[in-house]
A and B are shown apart, each in its own frame.
Chain A
Amino acid sequence: MISFNTFRSILENTLFVWIGLALILTIGGDNLFLPEWLQVIGRSHPLILHFPIVLLLFGLLFFWAPNLKAKKDLKEFGEISFLLGCNFAGITVLAGLILAQEDYEGSALEWHKWAGLAVFGLSILLYFIRNQSINFSKSLSAIIAVGVLQAGHWGADLTHGENFLLSPILKEEQETIALSEAEVFRDVVQPILQAKCISCHKEGKIKGELRMDLVEHIKKGGKSGPFVVPGDFEKSLLVTRINLPLEEKEHMPPKNKIQLTDEEKTILMDWVYSGASFDQKLEEVDTESELFQLASQKFSTEENYNFDAADPETILELNNFFREVAPIYPGSPALVVSYFGISAFDPNSLGELKAIGEQVVQLNLNKMPLNGVSFGFLSNFPNLRELQANFTDLTSDEISEITNLQSLTSLAISGNTLDDKSLESLGKMKSLEKLFIWQTGLSDAEKEKLEDKLPDTKIEYGFDGRGVIYDLNSPTIISEVNMFADSAKLEITHPIKTVEIRYSTEGEEPDSISSPIYKGPIWINKTAEVKARAFAKDWKGSPSSSVLLFRSGNPPKELKLLTQPNPNYFGKGELTLIDQIKGENNHTSGEWLGFQDEDPEVEITLADDQKPKELTISLLYHEGAYIFPPTQVEVWIKNTGNWEKIIDEIPTQSTDIKPSRFQALNYDLPTTEFKKVKIKMKAIKSLPKWHPGAGSKGWVFMDEISFLN
């Protein structure tokens, strides 16, 4: 059993063994030949190095413990930790120096090597002078601690790649690259090599004598042959190696490293196939090719903005209910400002945007009343790409201010009147890619002149409606009632206030010359079909709209249904026909009697003093619902003797499907005395061929029978 002090002195002595060996390896360097078993020790460097890091740092802590001298045990514990750490540091240095003989080269290796050696040397120094000066020890211990960490960091850079430690927090620095600027090698191929290959093929660690950190090295190739041969898969080791089975030793990346994805493989191979160019632009690649399809997704088609993002607080403050300030997409520094709410518009608020002036790339002021607003605020936006100011009542002075915007590529000022001065200003905006000037009152000659001045600008004039003649839409006839006792009031309206409305009350088509012009409400005092049409300059006259109004007349004494309506359309029975309530324009409203299987037949007994001159039968026609005009109408009268047929006619029959509508059949009655009237109608037995229900039975719908004196 060796005593504690013996153990300590052994450890103190071994330190010198490590120093000696380290000196030999450092000075001997590449000239030494190392047996293979030493390589195993060398490769254990990444394992052993954890011991000195922990032990040294732990031991160093004790140099900072207050009043250490008085606590002997504690001091000894610290010292022995530190001494152990020094020994492990020595072993680590040795292993590292052996490992360095393998494929490592370059400045990163040098930094790591010398930092490691320095830590080792300084640690031994500190151990032996530990009792000399407390302050000196403290400072030295701090230096060693920093050294340990820094040496470790450089070491990590060697094994895991540059800046391995900090890359997760540094990645926000990455720039987005615009599709138009992307290059196939620099922006598509190289990033893959960097992510998956370069950690073993770069300065400092050149496996197979292949370096990928610089283009000239890539062109040169490695120990086994050329890296890429344009268009040749067989000879390009890049292609052959990545396509070897995973188990093969030569497969790249090695089995235990992160593998290439299928997409990355395709990109690399397509790059070789298409000639392995180092300076081709992505846009020059055939857009149908797989390379382009895969690669183009990685780049934004948006412009690349080279200004910093605005302060989020400021952006938040500038947002209100009537102004939206937002990045063009989350994460972009470029801002879009939109104004909403005409009545809430405050011209002074435009000045507030100065705080984010650099970042604003789109400004939407559509419909805001800009007339007379000072346009000096525009100078705040050096990066403005798109300005929308449709229907803003711009003055020519304001337009000339717009022309000062150097970065503007799209300008929409439709709905503003452009005078000569404005046109002249616009003609100077050579950088414009798109110009929207619909509804600006330009003549053809003016348009031509502007196009001459702006040959590269896509100018949109829009639709001016000149020479296009459409039908106006029909006016609307409004009547409160469609059955009246004495007279009814009619109003006619049209959504375009400037049209001329003409009407007729006898059922004939109104025309634009002789028919009366509608000026105000009209009064109707007999059963009539009122028609109206609208006319206006540059429009074709509207189709007519019509309404049928019924004068109810005097109710008879009694009405009897000789045949029964269909039970589903029974209304209020007999009463329906004389209740002086016009049914709605819908046969299911319950105000109609519907006959199908039985032909309608009614008998009316007139009131004692009733001497009617006219009879009106009001019907509903709606072919789509199988409701047709009756195929025959007979009217019979009787005084005291026999029934006498006075009318037997076939009303106008339907020829196609029309919307549901009213129809009135009017008949003059004879002047002779009669007490009773009988009406017989026939429903259509077989619908005509043109009807979808051809051959089926049709219906007759009836809602009122009235007599006028």
Chain B
Amino acid sequence: MEKEILEQGLNLNRRKFLSKLSLGVGSAALGSLLIPDLFKGGSPDEDAIMSALPHFAPKAKRVIYLFQNGAPSQLESFDYKPLLNKNMGQELPESIRGGQRLTGMTAGQTSFPLVGSYYKFNQYGESRAWISEIFPHTAGVVDDICIIKSMHTEAINHDPALTFFQTGAQVGNRPSMGSWLSYGLGSENSNLPAFCVLLSRGKGNGQGVYSKLWSNGFLDATHQGVQFSNSEDPVLYLKDPKSMSRDERRKMLDQISAMNDLNYREFNDPEISAKIQQYEMAYRMQTAVPEMTDVSKEPDSIIKMYGPDCLIPGTYAANCLLARKLSESGVRFVQLYHQGWDQHGNLPSEMALQAKDVDQASAALVKDLKQRGLLDETLVIWGGEFGRTNYCQGKILEDNYGRDHHPRAFSIWMAGGGVKSGMVYGETDEFGYNITENPVHVHDFQATVMNLMGIDHERMTYKHLGRRYRLTDVSGHVIKDIIA
């Protein structure tokens, strides 16, 4: 037995020695070949990323992504199709549908009657963009936003579509957009995470959001999205226990860190160093977060701008206000999800409620960033995971109808951060079914966001399981037309 233990120990050491030797020599040689700056100081990791990144000036420093989870109908928001009202109840021509697959929810339907918007549309701003009456505040900032009417995606159900938007793949396990940016650009403010997630839920039919959407995937765990609580305390357990002083907390963390460090030296597991960094950040967050989330100093006009709901924790308005505060404090990527946009039925009543939840606060966020001089460097994105069909799901009633999932064409908007303002990009046919002009695939959208942040989406890769991965997989083109 003793012999075995000795052997095992020797083996371990031998293997360790050899693997470390090969790793050390190999990676140093390879690294110096590929990364000329490797030996110029700084941690190799950071240098590797930096040299992998193209050196061009970012237009946006930060992103706030207002994800409308459940897929808001483009036909009741930004894609005005009077033909659908005119031809209400008539069959969708097969030539338009072109054999598009259906979800299980309408696959059984024998008839696909066209249904027009329940809400009225009006034209606004210099771009004369059509916006529906349930988004009056968004209409008010139309000259600051760029509406893209020609988004399309590959997925037809919520979870894969949402995952695709966030991670570039329909299956889970890949890093989220925010994680990629955190990995590539790091945090501006080292007292807060680079990637924060805020959730809210509307009154409409909802779909789930799961933590895989803000997962770091194969990237280092420090790039994971940090979900803020939608209670009074956005970050729970920040306060030290009653009997514990700040100094004691510090001492405790130092001891834990020392022990973790010992372990790290032993095993070299990157998760351990990630853990050490997370403890340290949590310590700094103890002062940074209360300072940042303090609403009491917000002027009355801010409350009026976002709407009084912004004072109720967990609402979309409160999250928009918090997103502004986080972004202003240097958080690279703030991801909001607002649930309840899945209007398979009851669209007229539910969609108005949903719009009421988000319209004012979304517009307020744009205005608020603008009046602080931050809109130029902050990219705001508003949109869902796909669109909705131009035909009715179920029966059409005078004031009630529903729409199924539609991946072929939908609308989103972007503002600030180097995107052209007061612009409508792309066009759909008069049925609102197919894109006729300037299609924007999800990967194109991702490539564009990366580009605005100063990153070439084709060059920011991460090697995992023997291949290089990127957010845009193997496709994606930067939509230069919308970049200012």
Q: Give the complex CA separation of A329 and B57 in angstroms.
A: 5
Complex CA–CA separation, A138 to B91 (angstroms): 99
Total contacts A-B at CB 8 Å: 123
- B309 CB within 8 Å of chain A: yes
Instruction: Tell me if B212 is interfacial: C-beta within 8 Å of chain A.
Output: no
Return chain A residues, CB-CB under 8 Å to B346: 657, 692
- CB-defined contacts of A341 to chain B, threshold 8 Å: 189, 191, 287-288, 291
CA distance A507 to B57 in the complex (A): 62
Residue-wise interface mask of A (679-701) relative to B, using a CB-CB cutoff of 8 A (1 in contact, 0 not): 00000000000001000000000
User: Is B50 part of the binding interface, using a Cβ–Cβ cutoff of 8 Å?
Assistant: yes
Q: Is A460 an interface residue (CB 8 A)?
A: yes
Q: Does A342 contact B (CB under 8 A)?
A: yes
B189 cross-chain contacts in A, Cβ below 8 A? 324, 338, 340-341
Docked pose: A344 CA to B287 CA in angstroms: 9
Contacts of B311 in A (CB 8 A): 473, 495-496
Query: Counting CB contacts under 8 A, is A104 at the interface?
Result: no
User: Any chain B CB within 8 A of the CB of A470?
Assistant: yes
Give residues 354-413 of A contacting B (CB, 8 Å).
366, 388, 390-391, 410-412
Q: What is the distance, in angstroms, from A291's C-beta to the closest C-beta of chain B?
A: 14
Contact B328–A692 (Cβ < 8 Å): no
Q: Please indicate the chain A residues that have their CB under 8 angstroms from the CB of B238 in the complex.
A: none
Which of A301, A302, A438, A539 is B372 in contact with, Cβ under 8 Å?
A438
Q: What A residues does B104 contact at CB under 8 A?
A: none
Those of A307-355 within 8 Å (CB) of chain B: 312, 321-322, 324, 326, 328-332, 338, 340-344
**Residue among B55, B300, B349, B374 making CB contact with A330, cutoff 8 Å:** B55
Shortest B452–chain A CB gap in Å is 12
Question: Taking A321-B191, A331-B55, A366-B328 as contacts, is the C-beta distance between A464 and B373 under 8 angstroms?
Answer: no
Complexed CA–CA distance, A343 and B303 (Å):
25
Determine if A460 and B373 form an interchain contact, defined as CB atoms under 8 angstroms apart: yes
The answer, yes or no, to whether B190 is at the interface (CB within 8 Å) is yes
Tell yes or no: B120 within 8 A of A by CB.
no
Q: Which of B309, B328, B367, B400 is A463 in contact with, Cβ under 8 Å?
A: B367
| Contact (Cβ within 8 A) B57 A468 | no
Cβ contacts under 8 Å, A137 to chain B: none
What 0/1 pattern do residues 290 to 306 of B give for CB contact below 8 A with A?
01000001011101110
Please name all residues of chain B whose beta carbon is closer than 8 Å to the beta carbon of A414 when the two chains form the complex. 371-373
* Interface 1/0 per residue, B188-231 and A, CB below 8 Å: 11111000000000010000000000000000000000000000
| Residue numbers in A under 8 Å from B287 (CB-CB) | 341, 343-344
Beta-carbon contact of B372 and A390 below 8 Å: yes
A463 touching B57 in the complex, CB below 8 Å, given contacts A341-B191, A366-B328, A496-B308: no
Q: Does B345 contact A (CB under 8 A)?
A: yes
State whether A329 and B56 are in contact (beta carbons under 8 Å apart), knowing that A495-B311, A692-B400 are contacts in the complex: yes
> B383 at interface (Cβ–Cβ under 8 A)?
no
B-facing mask of A105-131, CB < 8 A → 1, else 0?
A: 000000000000000000000000000
- Restricting to A488-547, which residues have a CB under 8 Å from any CB of B? 495-496, 538-539, 542
Chain A nearest Cβ from B83, distance in angstroms = 27
Chain B nearest Cβ from A149, distance in angstroms: 26
**Interface readout for B376-406 with A: 1 if CB under 8 Å, 0 if not?**
0000000000000000000000001000000
Q: Majority SS of interface residues in chain A?
A: loop
Contact of B371 among A342, A460, A473 (CB under 8 A): A460
Distance A462 CA – B41 CA, assembled complex (angstroms): 45
| Chain A residues bordering chain B, tally (CB within 8 A) | 54
Q: How far is the CA of A705 from the CA of B115 in the complex (A)?
A: 47
Collect the chain B residues with CB atoms within 8 Å of residue A366's CB: 328, 372
Asked if A439 is an interface residue, CB under 8 A from chain B, the answer is yes
- Residues in A with CB closer than 8 Å to B188 are 324, 326, 338, 340
Are B57 and A473 interface neighbours, CB within 8 A? Answer: no
B477 within 8 Å of A by Cβ?
Answer: no
A470, B308: Cβ atoms closer than 8 Å: yes
B330 adjacent to A436 (CB under 8 Å): no
Residues of A within 8 A of B328 (CB): 366
Cβ A692 vs Cβ B345 within 8 A: yes
Q: Which of B346, B372, B373 has the most CB of A within 10 A?
A: B373
> Which chain B residues border A415 with CB–CB below 8 Å?
299
Q: Is A569 in the interface zone, CB < 8 Å from B?
A: no
**Bound complex: CA of A366 vs CA of B377, how far in Å?**
14
Q: Using Cβ atoms and an 8 Å threshold, which residues of chain A touch B309?
A: 473
B234 contacts the other chain (CB 8 A): no
Contact of A300 among B56, B308, B345 (CB under 8 A): B56
B58 A463 Cβ-Cβ under 8 A: no
How many whole Å from A59's CB to the nearest CB in chain B?
36
Count class of interface residues, chain B: 35 or more
Q: Which of B296-337 contact A (CB under 8 A)?
A: 297, 299-301, 303-305, 307-309, 311-312, 328-330
Asked, given contacts A301-B57, A329-B57, whether A436 binds B308 with beta carbons under 8 Å apart, the answer is no
A471 at the interface (CB under 8 A from B): yes
- Tell me whether A463 and B301 are in contact in the complex, defined as CB-CB below 8 angstroms, given that A322-B191, A471-B308, A473-B308 are known contacts: yes
Q: Which residues of B contact A464 (CB under 8 A)?
A: 301
Known contacts: A302-B57, A342-B291, A496-B311. The answer to whether A324 contacts B373 by CB under 8 A is no
Candidate in A300, A341, A465 with the most chain B CB atoms within 10 angstroms: A341
The answer on a CB contact under 8 Å between B373 and A390 is yes
A340 touches B373 (CB 8 A): no
Give Cα A463 to B298, complex, Å.
13
Task: Tell me how far the C-beta of A312 lies from the nearest C-beta in chain B, rounded to whole angstroms.
Answer: 7
Q: Is B480 an interface residue (CB 8 A)?
A: yes
Question: How far is it, in angstroms, between the C-alpha of A434 and the C-alpha of B374 when the chains are bound?
Answer: 12
B57 touches A436 (CB 8 A): no
Task: Mark contacts of A270-312 with chain B using CB atoms, 8 A cut-off: 1 yes-contact digit, 0 otherwise.
Answer: 0000000000000000000000010001001110000000001
Chain A residue numbers with a CB within 8 Å of B367 are 462-463
Check A324–B190 contact: CB distance below 8 A. yes
A330 and B53 contacting across the interface, CB-CB below 8 Å: yes
User: Does B329 contact A340, Cβ atoms closer than 8 Å?
Assistant: yes
- By a CB distance below 8 angstroms, the chain B residues around A466 are 301
* Most A Cβ at <10 Å: residue of B50, B291, B370, B371: B371
Give A343 to B289 CA distance when docked, in angstroms: 11
A538 to B301, CA, bound (A): 11
- Near A by CB (< 8 A), chain B positions 150-192 give 188-192
Give the complex CA separation of A659 and B349 in angstroms.
Answer: 13
| Residue A61 lies at the interface, judged by CB distance under 8 Å to chain B | no
Q: Is A472 in contact with chain B by the CB < 8 A criterion? A: yes
The interface centre, meaning the residue of B192, B303, B308, B311 with most chain A CB atoms within 10 A of its CB, is B308
Q: In the complex, how many angstroms separate the beta carbon of B79 from the nearest chain A beta carbon?
A: 25
Q: Smallest distance from the beta carbon of B12 to chain A beta carbons, Å? A: 38
Bound Cα distance from A495 to B312, whole angstroms: 7
Nearest opposing residue in chain B for A499, CB measure:
B308
B308 touches A328 (CB 8 A): no
B454: interface (CB < 8 Å)? yes
Chain B hits for A328, CB < 8 A: 57-58
B284 interface residue per 8 A CB criterion: yes
Complex Cα–Cα for A642 and B291 (A): 73
B165 to chain A, nearest CB (A): 26
* Complex alpha-carbon distance, A301 and B345, angstroms: 48
The answer to whether A412 touches B56 (Cβ under 8 A) is no
Binding site for A on B (CB under 8 A): 41, 50, 53, 55-58, 188-192, 203, 284, 287-288, 291, 297, 299-301, 303-305, 307-309, 311-312, 328-330, 345-346, 349, 364, 367-368, 370-374, 400, 454, 480
Q: Which 7 A-B pairs have the closest CB atoms?
A: A462-B371, A412-B373, A495-B311, A465-B301, A438-B371, A331-B55, A436-B373
Listed A/B pairs (20) with beta-carbon separation below 8 Å: A312-B41, A324-B188, A324-B330, A341-B287, A341-B291, A366-B328, A388-B374, A390-B373, A412-B372, A412-B373, A412-B374, A414-B373, A439-B371, A460-B373, A462-B371, A463-B364, A463-B367, A473-B309, A473-B312, A692-B346
User: Taking beta carbons and an 8 Å cutoff, which residues of A are in contact with B?
Assistant: 293, 297, 300-302, 312, 321-322, 324, 326, 328-332, 338, 340-344, 366, 388, 390-391, 410-412, 414-415, 434, 436, 438-439, 460-466, 468, 470-473, 495-496, 538-539, 542, 657, 659, 692
